[in-house]
Amino acid sequence: MRFWFKRWSTRVNLWGFIFYCHDLESDDTHFATLVFRSLLDLIQAQTPCGCLYGQAESGIPRLTREIPVYFDNPEVLRLIFTTLCAYLSSLSSYRSTMGKPLPEPFIEYITLPQLAQNIVDLLQTPRSLLLSSWDIFDPMSKVMAWIAYHQSSAILDLPDNAGLLLFITFLQSPSVVIRCRGMIGLVNMKYPDHLSEVRVCNPQLTVHLMSSSKPSKEVPTSEKGGPWLLPSDLPYETVSERYRNPLVKFLDNGAPFKAYEAALRVVEFELRGSQDVRESFSYPCTRLFGGRVALSLNLIDDMEIALRFHKKNFEATVLRLALLTVVLEDALDFGEKNPDVKDTLDKLPAVIKSESDRAIKKWPDRWYPYYAMIKSQSGHDYLDVAQTSQGCSDSTHRHKSLMVYEIAFNMFTTAVVSIALSPFESPAWEAGVRHLREAEGGIFMAMQVLPSGCVQHRMAQVLSCLLRLITRFSVLGPCELPAIVSELKQPLMTLRSSGTKVHTELRNAATEFVLNHARASKASVQLLARLAQLKQVAEHHRKWQVIYRDMEGDGQFQDDVNAYGEQELIARRLTQCAWCGRSSSGLRKCARCEKVKYCGKECQTDHWKQGHKEECVSPVITV
């Protein structure tokens, strides 16, 4: 039948004909089974995702309406949810195929809020078929993850926080696959829907994971310049003229803005870092620019021109990449509130990656462009970038520490998507399990080598807790979950009080788990118990253990440990101030908890105000 579909489906509207046939005999369940099986065969015969956009537009609303009709027919439900999953998955390729995000009218038309509501209602039905068959629950849980990606409001607007609680329940399930889907749902429901390039747990990665080709880091030629980049081939006479006539002449207080001095400070900060870990939480624009002034493209242009005028072309690229990343983080705070910000969010990530790629080709032995490329990204191609960066001649201890963190972060996010959405035991699924195991070692390593208390160190603590929830939840003892939750509260409080914009969506997801895990577990006792009885869940756990056991002690990050030296790691851990990160032999312990040390009273006071009070005293989380 699939061969016939593949031959003729492009010539006639077969999927419309299939729905027409269903309307003729909608009361005949045997005929309905044949109809929906034919529809699924048609989809599987049309391998190019682009063939499914038209079908998805009409098919998703139609199938959504059929769910309550066939709530007691397991085979039809399986076919409906499998077909819906194929439709929603295909839509993730729309941007790469059509060169633009899914149109908002399209998203509104496919009635994802009603689909989410139907699923929640079905789960709450006594003796629900969703809980008795993995063949139904599997595609249904994938559908929920895709809904959170395509239209987060469809989840957030469900009554009584039902969508939020369902994803938290997923994260507490006995199946590692479902736990990863819970993580994807929690993260994506907190993200602007039209974004794809800068998502943490991006389901769109499955488009690349299931194909042999890697996603291109290039952007269309028409976008390469745009408003964000100066032409790389500006004549020196033009640079000289621009340098003498800057667009930004004054700071907010009326003092002259010295573009060259400010640019040198920005580059110094990016390449060497700061002795004050507080500056890792929020970019120190005021200090670097010499005073308060709005960060704008004109300001960035003036500083880059100043560096080019002084023949510092590499430094000019570092400055551009660094400040465009700050612009992107600021835009994320606004989400989708205005068209200008939306355009920035839509295009700027690709511009940053393209400029990083250009810089890598021009300066292959310099570390910073590799770091700019991989920073906060997901996907196997970025791991290749990190691997290439290891031979850079200017790589320092600080650079290696940051790269270890970014590699581990990348592995975590890529692994979650691979395990959640790739077919069980497929090469992509097994690669995801291995990446998650490697991420554990990487995050442990990062917490040893990063300056204690910096934003990356705090995020590594969050990731460490989330990793344990995903990898070990099914074997946690009665006291272990409260201990992990308590441990998770501490860095979340510090990050929140600091006002940092780093990975807000991931921190929000973790906070929702902390606040609602007990409520979700209590409301889902039946669901969790029945999932534990499914043989496929037991098989997930068995296969998971086999891969993990094979990887025990394989030393993925042993090269990094050897590079730093075990004694150096121990010494850094014991001799660093918990706030500023400076090494010293005369540190004094916190008298209350005796777990952290400080180089002076000022650091101890600042750390207490910025989060250690909550860590030390450990009150109930209030975020």
Dihedral sign for Cα 352, 358, 361, 365, please: negative
Helix count and strand count (H, E) for the chain: 33, 2
As given in the structure block, the two tokens for residue 321 are: 């990449």
* CA 585 – CA 210 distance, rounded (Å): 52
Instruction: For residue 527, give its domain range.
Output: 379-575
As given in the structure block, the two tokens for residue 499 are: 């006002």
At how many degrees (to 10) do helices 176-188 and 504-523 cross?
Answer: 130
* CA 435 – CA 40 distance, rounded (Å): 32
Query: Is 166 inside a domain boundary?
Result: no
* CA 410 – CA 404 distance, rounded (Å): 10
* Strand residue runs (E) in 296-402: none
Could you tell me which of 175, 203, 137 has the C-alpha nearest to residue 470? 175
Same structural domain for residues 569 and 585? Answer: no
As given in the structure block, the two tokens for residue 307 are: 């560096």
* CA 532 – CA 153 distance, rounded (Å): 30
* CA 345 – CA 325 distance, rounded (Å): 11
* CA 97 – CA 53 distance, rounded (Å): 11
Same structural domain for residues 400 and 430? Answer: yes
Question: Counting Cβ atoms within 10 Å, is residue 327 exposed (0-12), middle (13-18) or buried (19+)?
Answer: middle
Query: Is 418 inside a domain boundary?
Result: yes
Query: Any alpha helices (H) in 25-52, and if so which ranges?
Result: 29-45
Query: Is 163 inside a domain boundary?
Result: no
Could you tell me which of 18, 46, 17 has the C-alpha nearest to residue 34? 18
List beta partners, residue 597.
589
Same structural domain for residues 557 and 613? Answer: no
Q: Which residues of the chain have pLDDT under 70?
A: 1-16, 19-27, 46-51, 192-226, 333-341, 343, 376, 378-380, 477-478, 548-587, 594-595, 599, 609-611, 614-615, 617-623
Query: Is 181 inside a domain boundary?
Result: no
Q: Given the structure tokens 């957030």, which residue do they identify?
A: 156
Residues near 526 by Cβ (< 8 Å), separated by ≥ 6?
131
Same structural domain for residues 406 and 555? Answer: yes
Residues near 528 by Cβ (< 8 Å), separated by ≥ 6?
169, 172, 173, 174, 521
CA angle 68, 113, 515 (to 5 degrees): 110
* CA 422 – CA 417 distance, rounded (Å): 8
- How many residues can be counted in the chain? 623
Could you tell me which of 161, 73, 74, 76 has the C-alpha nearest to residue 116? 161
Same structural domain for residues 391 and 489? Answer: yes
As given in the structure block, the two tokens for residue 50 are: 């682009």
pTM above 0.95, yes or no: no
Same structural domain for residues 307 and 391? Answer: no
Same structural domain for residues 488 and 535? Answer: yes
* CA 531 – CA 181 distance, rounded (Å): 14
As given in the structure block, the two tokens for residue 287 are: 């200090």
Q: Chain centroid to CA 80: how far?
A: 29
Same structural domain for residues 569 and 420? Answer: yes
Query: Is 188 inside a domain boundary?
Result: no
Query: Is 194 inside a domain boundary?
Result: no
Point out the domain boundary residue: 343, 368, 393. 368
Same structural domain for residues 529 and 607? Answer: no
As given in the structure block, the two tokens for residue 319 are: 């400055």
Same structural domain for residues 442 and 508? Answer: yes
Could you tell me which of 149, 167, 323 has the C-alpha nearest to residue 230? 323
Same structural domain for residues 71 and 128? Answer: yes
Query: Is 326 inside a domain boundary?
Result: yes
As given in the structure block, the two tokens for residue 92 are: 């993730």
Question: Counting Cβ atoms within 10 Å, is residue 337 exposed (0-12), middle (13-18) or buried (19+)?
Answer: exposed
Q: Which amino acid is at 350?
A: A
Point out the domain boundary residue: 368, 387, 402. 368
- Total structural domains within the chain: 4
* CA 5 – CA 57 distance, rounded (Å): 20
Same structural domain for residues 347 and 444? Answer: no
H-helix or E-strand containing 598?
A: strand 597-598
Could you tell me which of 567, 570, 573, 603 has the C-alpha nearest to residue 588? 603
Point out the domain boundary residue: 368, 399, 418. 368
Could you tell me which of 109, 107, 104, 103 has the C-alpha nearest to residue 62? 109
Query: Is 276 inside a domain boundary?
Result: yes
